[in-house]
């Protein structure tokens, strides 16, 4: 049959590990083709980097979920490891497939690699098509009045809110052909950690896979969305959706989320602005992809080039104290310990810990981005880099460098009950709220009664807030002088 209607298609799953609302898969179904579902564990991904440990844990569970969903429909997920182009060519020979369909990725190394693969396949007479399977819209979809891309979030958000309409959902295939092509066992890839297995807290918090993603969305719509605007900055409350890792691995499409939330709005959800506030966070993710698509080096280099001469410090000791949650600032330490235990951290706390690293400690944002890349289950090449650069001051539409979060008042404001710090820093749980976010300000008797010995049971501050803030401001002034 001609390429317009191939008899058999390899559907190459990547960051889109689901069956519903999957444009590449739906196109193969529409062509009435025999479908070979394939996943390739490539040597490097996401901007030429290996997946971090937390993402590997998630991928292991997500692939097994996808494998099960395909198996229940009579098919088989073919898993291979290595060079994608070679593997696809091998599979074409083994299956007789006439086409390969896949979802696009947007970092420059991935764009270049996909272009090479597409050319090689077409040179072999194989149809190669890519689809948008991970974003609401392509990074080039919305342009400013001058014809450029958006560099500021608010007008981009207005453009999306005013113009985007989610397309009709694409149903999952009812069945696959049960064709037995050999592949690797997912278990043989060693994605799950061992010796030691540090993922116990992950298992308790997360259910990777398409079903888990839909359950998360439903739970959010049934409750927290109503108070999202008020509660989204409160780590001591369960006020967020928890959908970020599901989006990162493509177990649910952003269009599915958009349709579901808009359905609530259109049915007269009283807390409409909370719903729009949540959707704006979905669009922040989109904005990050706009930025990295148009600024390919943003994942590792400053968006604002003047930061190239920033005089960052180098301190392995300070970095390790930050990584381990031993900075002496309870809200920071709680966040870093939550990250290590669960693979996730509340977004407000991400900003606080990033500010401490890049401002108080004056360590390069790339040090923090590397740590998040390895430890976050939602580690995303665009969102991770954009978030770090926003806090560091070097990003697009960034927080000004001279804005230095006070980790004491941030804790008091957003962890008002103290539940967050007490959960993740149990050595402080007996401290009264008045002193919880600044234990060093408590008197000796208060500390003794709470069983807290600074420098022993809990660390003293890694640097005084006033000193760290001034050091950051001095560095900013030096940077400005270099531009003059």
Residues acting as catalytic residues: 281, 284, 312, 347, 365, 388
For 142, the 3-state DSSP assignment is: coil
Is 182 annotated to bind a ligand? Reply is no
CA dist 320 → 20, 50, 214, 362, 406 (Å)? 42, 22, 37, 14, 21
For 51, the 3-state DSSP assignment is: coil
CB atoms within 10 A of CB 484: 4
- Nearest CA to 89 out of 47, 48, 45, 119 is that of 119
The 8-class DSSP code of residue 187 comes to G
Distance of CA 39 to the CA centre of its chain: 20
User: Is-contact 48 109, C-beta < 8 A?
Assistant: yes
Is 23 annotated to bind a ligand? Reply is no
- Nearest CA to 379 out of 44, 40, 46, 132 is that of 46
Is 243 annotated to bind a ligand? Reply is yes
Is 278 annotated to bind a ligand? Reply is yes
Separation CA 476–CA 91 (nearest Å):
55
Separation CA 386–CA 377 (nearest Å):
17
Separation CA 384–CA 281 (nearest Å):
14
Distant-in-sequence, close-in-space partners of 59: CB < 8 Å, separation ≥ 6: 51, 191, 249
3-state secondary structure 280-299: HHHHHHHHHHHHHHHCCCCC
Is 228 annotated to bind a ligand? Reply is yes
User: Is-contact 144 116, C-beta < 8 A?
Assistant: no
Separation CA 256–CA 258 (nearest Å):
5
Separation CA 143–CA 149 (nearest Å):
5
For 390, the 3-state DSSP assignment is: helix
Which ranges of 198-243 would DSSP assign to H, the alpha helix? Answer: 200-205, 210-221, 228-231
Is 417 annotated to bind a ligand? Reply is no
Residue 154 exposed, middle or buried by CB count within 10 Å (0-12, 13-18, 19+): exposed
Beta-strand ranges (E) seen in 372-458 are none
Is 242 annotated to bind a ligand? Reply is yes
Is 244 annotated to bind a ligand? Reply is yes
CA angle 391/397/398 to nearest 5° reads 15
Annotated binding site for FAD: 228, 240-244, 278, 378-380
List, as residue ranges, the binding site: 228, 240-244, 278, 378-380
């Amino acid at each position: 049959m001609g390429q317009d209607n191939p008899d058999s298609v390899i559907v190459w799953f990547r960051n889109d590990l689901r069956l519903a609302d999957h444009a590449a898969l739906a196109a193969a179904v529409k062509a009435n083709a025999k479908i070979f579902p394939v996943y390739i564990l490539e040597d490097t991904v996401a901007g030429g980097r290996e997946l971090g440990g937390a993402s590997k844990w998630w991928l292991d569970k997500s692939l097994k979920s996808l494998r099960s969903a395909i198996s229940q429909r009579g098919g088989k997920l073919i898993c291979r490891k290595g060079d994608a182009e070679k593997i696809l060519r091998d599979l074409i020979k083994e299956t007789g497939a006439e086409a390969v369909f896949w979802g696009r990725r947007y970092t420059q190394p991935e764009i270049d690699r996909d272009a090479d693969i597409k050319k090689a396949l077409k040179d072999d007479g194989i149809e190669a098509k890519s689809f948008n399977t991970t974003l609401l819209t392509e990074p080039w979809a919305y342009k400013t009045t001058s014809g450029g891309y958006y560099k500021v979030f608010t007008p981009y958000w207005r453009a999306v809110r005013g113009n985007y309409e989610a397309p009709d959902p694409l149903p999952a295939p009812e069945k696959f052909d049960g064709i037995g092509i050999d592949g690797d066992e997912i278990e043989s890839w060693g994605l799950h950690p061992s010796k030691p297995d540090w993922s116990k807290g992950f298992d308790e918090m997360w259910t990777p896979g398409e079903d888990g993603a839909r359950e998360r969305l439903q739970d959010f719509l049934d409750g927290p969305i109503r108070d999202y605007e008020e509660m989204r900055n409160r780590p001591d409350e369960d006020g967020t959706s928890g959908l970020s890792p599901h989006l990162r691995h493509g177990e649910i499409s952003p269009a599915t989320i958009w349709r579901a939330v808009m359905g609530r709005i259109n049915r007269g959800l009283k807390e409409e602005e909370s719903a729009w506030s949540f959707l704006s966070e979905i669009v922040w993710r989109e904005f990050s992809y706009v930025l990295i698509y148009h600024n390919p080096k943003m994942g590792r280099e400053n968006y604002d080039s003047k930061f190239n001469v920033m005089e960052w410090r180098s301190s392995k000791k300070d970095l390790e104290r930050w990584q381990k949650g031993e900075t002496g600032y309870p809200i920071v330490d709680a966040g870093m310990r939550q990250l290590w235990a669960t693979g996730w951290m509340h977004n407000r706390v991400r900003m606080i810990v990033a500010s401490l690293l890049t401002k108080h400690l004056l360590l390069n944002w790339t040090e923090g981005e590397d740590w998040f890349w390895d430890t976050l289950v939602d580690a995303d090449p665009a969102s991770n880099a954009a978030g770090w650069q926003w806090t560091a001051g070097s990003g697009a539409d960034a927080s000004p460098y001279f804005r230095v979060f006070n980790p004491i008042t941030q804790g008091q404001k957003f962890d008002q009950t103290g539940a967050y710090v007490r959960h993740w820093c149990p050595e402080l749980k007996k401290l009264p709220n008045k002193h919880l976010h600044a234990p060093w300000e408590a008197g000796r008797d208060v500390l003794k009664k709470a069983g807290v010995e600074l420098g022993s049971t809990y660390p003293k501050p890694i640097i005084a807030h006033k000193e760290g803030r001034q050091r950051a401001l001095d560095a900013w002034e030096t940077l400005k002088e270099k531009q003059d």
